[in-house]
Amino acid sequence: MNPTRRKFLASTAATPALALTGGAGLAQTPTKNPRIAEENSKTGTTDWQLTRVRVNEGKYRTSLIEGYVSHQSIKAGETLDFFVSTKPERDFTIDLYRLGYYGGKGGRHMKQLGPFSGKAQPVPEMKPENRLRECQWKASTSLKIPEDWVSGVYVGKLTTISENESDPYWQSYVIFVVRDDREADVIFQTSDNTAQAYNRWPENESLYTDPRGAHAPGVAVSFDRPHGLYCQIYENPLSVGSGEFLLWEFPLCYWLEKEGYDVTYLANVDMLEPGSIERGKVFLSVAHDEYWDARQYSRMKSAIEGGLNVLWLCGNSVFIDSPFTASSSGQPNRILTRRGCFGDLRQDETENYGHLFDALKSTAPDERKIMGVRSVVPFNGGGDWTCRKADHWIFEGTGMKNGDSIPGLVGWEHHGEPDPDLEGLEVLAEGKVWAGGVREGKYTSVIFPGPKENFVFNASTVFWNMGLSTPPGHWAPYSHYSRPHGPDERVQRITKNLLNRAIHGGE
Ligand SMILES: [Fe+2]
């Protein structure tokens, strides 16, 4: 054991008095970033929410108005193109909002674009070799991102303009990240690869709908298409166009900005850029971060070795090896293709789960080396998050005892089976999940030390962020006959303990 790891292990026990009283001062004092605090002091609005959405019969599309943008993420000073289709032809506007806390409103109106003349844009043919549907629409408008726009997740609310009083307006979203290059305490990565992998727009073209099987290799999806209705766990038409962000990720964003953390945002693709995550003190993988390019894995592994702290506030993450490739027009990183999976699935796992994973072969390194745990088949279900190491510092101030549970916090996907070779790994929470309400599985939440007094935590549940906040309009999920309660002081305190240790160290 090297001295650094010994020091980490020595510091893992909570101070008993603090654990009992909940009086640890550090956890109450997140870093205040002037930019995030100032941004959130500006006037917010709840108008970022959609009001009128009509999903086509047969699901997925909102062809009355739908669109996409030219980049998963973009920096101030760069130009973002908006591609919008309206059928029937209608004029429309684009209202841009930055999502955050904003006194509880959840968003700030940044700019209105338009009105524009809308028309129907073509639905692309499906490529028979990989089921790819790639739009090549005419840009409706472009925007040079203003220099004073703070890094964040932004939505564009697309709204048709009624032609007369008997013609109602219709809406949907586009979504993108504004990023920067500054050093920051917290790097928040959106899980937009996974949202695209599950996107069935236009007819049924996600990475899961190949007749050969749900995990067939070689199937591809393009970012050059609208996000259809998200249909896996529950269907919320008022999130159409935003992928998975509003469903699973926004409660973390809303809470971090409420607490004033110094946070900056990235899309998955930004990890390919050298230095993109190393500039942070702590990196957050958020909610359902299943689809990674193997180059993301390499960057994460070297960043942990370099001292980065990582919080996996997620489930089923780093599971599918999905390289980025360029669009047919040559724009880099606009297509994701399922190549295989990270790590090895055991034969009994594939056999016990029907033919769902038959075609899935290992093509990338073991995800446990960067996450501590992995997606254990079956990795979906619902359960309670049960404390197994109450004297650990992550539980400081929560009052939790071994065996205490946070009801319904585990779901709908999780991690388990810790890596036996990771020195210093500790199990923090562990218990049962039930897939389909009856089929028993097991999740395990862990922490392990990095080589430079850094650490890696894995909450092992997609629903972790449901325990932090409920932003305006948010719907609590219900899946596998199970559901989380919503905000929970223990989840909030554990998350603060982790962030503060990552940002300020253990002193
Ligand atoms: Fe998943």
d(CA 379, ligand 1 centre) in Å: 8
Domain extents in the chain: 3-40+180-504, 43-178
Is the pLDDT confidence value at 471 over 80?
yes
d(CA 361, ligand 1 centre) in Å: 16
Please report which confidence band the pLDDT of residue 29 belongs to, taking 50, 70 and 90 as the band edges.
very low
Query: What is the per-residue burial (b if ≥16 Cβ within 10 Å, else e) of 344-379?
Result: ebeeebbeebeebbbbbeebbbbbbbbbbbbbbbbb
d(CA 289, ligand 1 centre) in Å: 8
Is the pLDDT confidence value at 169 over 70?
yes
d(CA 153, ligand 1 centre) in Å: 22
Q: pLDDT tens digits for 253-307? A: 999 999 999 999 999 999 999 999 999 999 999 999 999 999 999 999 999 999 9
Q: Which two tokens stand for residue 439?
A: 């089929």
Is the separation of the CB atoms in 300 and 310 below 8 Å?
yes
Q: Which two tokens stand for residue 41?
A: 């002091």
d(CA 452, ligand 1 centre) in Å: 31
Q: Lowest-confidence range among 44-48, 169-173, 356-360, 364-368?
A: 356-360
- pLDDT of the residue at 507: 47
- pLDDT of the residue at 344: 87
Q: Which two tokens stand for residue 303?
A: 């960043």
- pLDDT of the residue at 33: 54
| Average pLDDT of every residue of the chain | 92
| Rounded distance between C-alpha atoms, residue 446 and residue 457, angstroms | 6
Q: pLDDT tens digits for 112-151? A: 999 999 999 999 999 999 999 999 999 999 999 999 999 9
- For 71, half-sphere exposure in the C-beta direction (CA atoms, 13 angstrom radius) is 20
The SS3 of residue 314 is: strand
| Rounded distance between C-alpha atoms, residue 180 and residue 75, angstroms | 6
**H or E element that contains 155:** strand 152-160
Mean pLDDT score, 435-451: 95
- For 365, half-sphere exposure in the C-beta direction (CA atoms, 13 angstrom radius) is 16
d(CA 288, ligand 1 centre) in Å: 6
d(CA 486, ligand 1 centre) in Å: 21
Q: Find the farthest-apart pair of alpha carbons in the chain and give their distance in angstroms, rounded.
A: 74
d(CA 242, ligand 1 centre) in Å: 17
d(CA 322, ligand 1 centre) in Å: 13
Please report which confidence band the pLDDT of residue 233 belongs to, taking 50, 70 and 90 as the band edges.
confident
User: Tell me: domain 43-178, CATH 1.20.140.10, correct?
Assistant: no
**H or E element that contains 153:** strand 152-160
Q: What is the 3-state secondary structure (H, E, C) of 405-474?
A: EEEEEECCEECECCCCCCCCCEEEEEEEEEECCCEEEEEEEEEEECCCCCEEEECCEHHHHHHCCCCCCC
Q: Which two tokens stand for residue 147?
A: 């220099």
d(CA 319, ligand 1 centre) in Å: 8
Question: The whole model's pTM is what?
Answer: 0.93
Q: Lowest-confidence range among 29-33, 319-323, 350-354, 389-393?
A: 29-33
d(CA 99, ligand 1 centre) in Å: 24
d(CA 103, ligand 1 centre) in Å: 33
